[in-house]
Amino acid sequence: MDGITIALFLISTFFGGLTTGLAGFAAGLVVSGVWLHIITPLQTAVLIAAYGVVNQAYGIWKARHALQWRRLLPFVIGGAVGVPLGAYLLTYINPAHIRTGVGVLLVAYSTYNLACPAFKPIESNQPIDTGMGFLNGLLGGLTGLGGVIVTIWCQLGGGSKDAQRAVFQPVIFITMATTTLTFAAAGHLFNADVIKLFLLGLPALLLGLWAGMTLYGKLDDAAFRKVILVLLLLSGIFLIVPAVVSR
């Protein structure tokens, strides 16, 4: 890697950490647009998963005062079933079609809610949370988007920004950790080039996380909701565009 490539890698890694520190997710969306042009797709996938563990662990530590383990358990149980099923269905379902469909739903959902900021929180219970955990895991197994559904569900349930992050960040952490272990078992995680890249970008990632959490502390609940909606909108657009370009 030459100097310009290293600079691009570090800058994008910083902004990936910044995004996670601010919103609690979407680092992969930020970094992949740059990384896929300067490193291999496999290196990108492994680093997103490995850095995701760091990102979410940091966020969980910061939100530890709001953690409710009983609330988390149904999501974890549902996801434990959904992730392997989603991975299995990859053999029979074209993931590109799933990505396009999810992208359209994300654009519609985020656009509507940005235009109509007032909403009535949806009440939930353990069976429903388990179902949402299953759907979140299923989508994660099919597309790698292991945090979109649980993030939306937490937002629809209302509550403070800390309470929402205390639910969806641990769920995303478990998904990322499972993905990282899968890569490790396949031998990809211990590739020397990947380890060098991981260590190279780690300081930039941590600096971005710190900056993002600092900005997060200045947001009220309404502003946090808008940040989440904007990121969901961008996620939907990025899911749709590749499918359109490839046709």
pLDDT tens for the 247 residues of the chain, in order: 788 999 999 999 999 899 889 888 878 778 877 887 888 877 887 888 888 889 889 888 887 888 888 888 999 899 888 888 877 786 777 767 777 888 888 899 889 888 876 678 888 899 999 999 999 888 877 766 777 888 889 888 888 888 888 888 888 888 778 777 776 776 656 678 888 999 999 999 999 999 999 999 898 888 888 888 888 888 888 778 764 544 5
Supply angle C-alpha 128, 131, 137, rounded to 5: 145
- Based on the structure, what is the number of domains in the chain? 1
Q: Which residue segment(s) compose the domain that 160 sits in?
A: 3-245
Helices 3-23 and 41-62, packing angle to 10 deg:
40
Exposure string for 7-32, b = 16+ CB within 10 A, e = fewer: eebbebbbbbbbbbbbbbbbbbbbbb
The Cα–Cα gap between 146 and 230 comes to: 18
The Cα–Cα gap between 203 and 209 comes to: 10
Tell which phi-psi region holds residue 187, choosing left (phi > 0), alpha (psi between -120 and 50) or beta: left
CB atoms within 10 A of CB 170: 24
Whether pTM exceeds 0.85 = no
